[in-house]
A and B are shown apart, each in its own frame.
Chain A
Amino acid sequence: MSARSAQLLQRLETLEQMPTIPVVLAPLLRYLEQPLDTLEVQQVVDLISQDKSLAAQCLHLANSPLYGRWQNVDSIRSAVVALGLQRMRDIAVSCSVLRLVPGKGQLNPTVFWEHSLGCALVSRQFARRIGADAAKAYLAGLLHDIGIAAELSVIPAEFQQAYELSQSQGIPLHEAEMTMLGFTHCDAGKIVAEHWRLTPDLIAVAGCHHNPASADGSRALVALVSLSDLLCRMCGLGHGYIEERQVNFLEELGFALLLKECPSLQGFDWARFTFELEAYMEEVHRLVSILYRAPQ
């Protein structure tokens, strides 16, 4: 690694300009980690309601068919009751992540939001299909690109150069980052994930989703998110530009790794899964456009 790359990474490690996550999120997540039978709905409602804009954003997601709700819920309490604590956790974390990208960057923050939310939903659906942990997959999909949020906040000018290269050549962002910066958003993501003391599997996803074989553990989860990420990018839910290439999922490294742990992947219908994504895209675009306009 060049001296410049090492210097940039060092700047990332300080994370000084990184937007912070809502203060209520940490206590909320801690509370929801307790045994289910000890949890009280009112406690969760109170925690979310402390942050009015977070509560407003949560209600938008809670009313989306993508989160399993078809009739309007108009209060956090009815959302928690209708959707359950697990889904409310997904929703609260999603809304929190959406705040991480600075609004003033060159990369339109809605693009980052759409990709992260899309990847979370696709990872969740993929996990359900092949019998993996859907809740974990959602969280991992949502957080896989936090490295980009860090780069946008801490080294915006340098990131911009890499982003422009990826756009102009239609190549994957991590390849352009490697050329321009000497490292990728995976390296940045690992720093953030460790700094936030995320669980080891989420650190592995943020740090290794472009090279699942390099993960020390949780390779199946990393592989699952890497495939979901790639599918989103090929289906128009990418980083705001078109990657001009051809992908055969059966030849992806992530596929071979995931197949080892999920034999049901062998006969997976990639065509149907891709067609199903069409419905996701429309809803993700709609949700993010509403959330982006909602107060933060």
Chain B
Amino acid sequence: MTTVASSLMETSSRPPGPPSPHLVKIRDLVYQVAGIFQPDNKLRLFEDRCSKRMKVLGVTSLADYYDCLTTKPIRQAELVSLLNEITIGETCFFRNQPQLDALRNVVFPRIVEARASLALRHLRIWSAGCSTGEEPYTLSIVLLEELGGRLKGWTFEIIATDLNERSVANAKQGVYGAYSTRNLTPYYKQKYFSPCGNDLKVNPEVKTHINFSRVNLLDDVRMAFLKGFDLVMCCNVLIYFDVISKRRVIQHFYNNLLAHGYLFLGHSESLYGVSEDFRLVHLPSATAYVKAEKRQVMR
């Protein structure tokens, strides 16, 4: 049966053997504690990231590394280091295309509909944990494109904040190298960027809609002043917080958002077990959170 033999050769290219049960335990631990999930098809990559940390620590088995993440005194610090490995290299323009498509095709039209009763045709968006600025600039570009179509006659502003002063300073500069701009099509590069040596500089047209500042999401006073948002993007930030801090921030987001508002987290990031204030909703190839129907949380 040559057909079977030849077609089986194609099947044999898949990764051999089931994942180590210790790796699965580490995956589940990271999800439980941080809220970010590694699906089975990403487990090899996840194992590579664990291996990098294991080398640093001089640990030779996944079972021992699991101990480092649970019982040893270094567990908090080690979890942060592992999370850094997991999210490394994720900062770039147009990082999560399905999420952006869902925003354009489903979320913005719904926000516009919800805002129809209000006289002000204006969108307020918050990029909470904007790092070096790729996310808010991407949103600004997406919205500028929409202004020529479904959002004709609308205006928008983006509040972009990060805890790290240096990241905010870099974001304000708006100059990016090849790695950050790898997902940009020539159309976007030409329309919204100018050459700056070997790098690309964001055009003022994109920048003018964004207000960058340093904000600590755990600063209750500062958080209480951020109001009236249609959309909060908070990607790969809450994963670093313990559950009590997560709940505090989530409660703020609840109050920061308008009734029809949306909260977007990072890819494979979840609020499960953290908050009842928000409900998970499914969008095409993306998930988001909307406010649960209940009275406004009073602080």
**Nearest Cβ distance between residue B127 and chain A, in whole angstroms?**
21
Given contacts A234-B283, A243-B284, A272-B270, contact A63 B11 (CB under 8 A): yes
With the chains together, A33 CA to B259 CA distance in Å?
A: 55
Contact pick for B271, options A271, A290, A293, A295, CB 8 Å: A271
- Give residues of chain B (1-47) contacting chain A, Cβ–Cβ below 8 Å: 1, 3-5, 7-8, 10-12, 14, 16-18, 31, 37, 39-42
Given contacts A56-B1, A72-B8, A272-B272, contact A246 B282 (CB under 8 A): yes
Query: Which residues from A are CB-within-8-Å of B7?
Result: 56, 59-60, 290, 293-294
With the chains together, A275 CA to B107 CA distance in Å?
A: 20
Contact pick for B4, options A55, A247, A269, CB 8 Å: A55
B279 within 8 A of A: yes
- Give residues of chain B (153-192) contacting chain A, Cβ–Cβ below 8 Å: none
B17 engages A70 (CB within 8 Å): yes
Band of interface residues on B: 35 or more
With the chains together, A189 CA to B216 CA distance in Å?
A: 56
With the chains together, A29 CA to B17 CA distance in Å?
A: 31
B106 within 8 A of A: yes
Residue of B nearest to A286 (CB): B14
Contact pick for A248, options B17, B39, B268, B279, CB 8 Å: B279
With the chains together, A5 CA to B10 CA distance in Å?
A: 46
With the chains together, A170 CA to B273 CA distance in Å?
A: 33
Band of interface residues on A: 35 or more
Given contacts A55-B4, A56-B3, A235-B285, contact A248 B280 (CB under 8 A): yes
Query: Which residues from B are CB-within-8-Å of A52?
Result: 1, 3
With the chains together, A234 CA to B12 CA distance in Å?
A: 30
Complex A-B: 12 CB contacts under 8 Å: A53-B3, A56-B7, A170-B105, A234-B284, A242-B101, A246-B107, A248-B282, A249-B282, A269-B273, A277-B39, A279-B41, A294-B7
Q: Which 3 A-B pairs have the closest CB atoms?
A: A271-B270, A279-B40, A279-B41
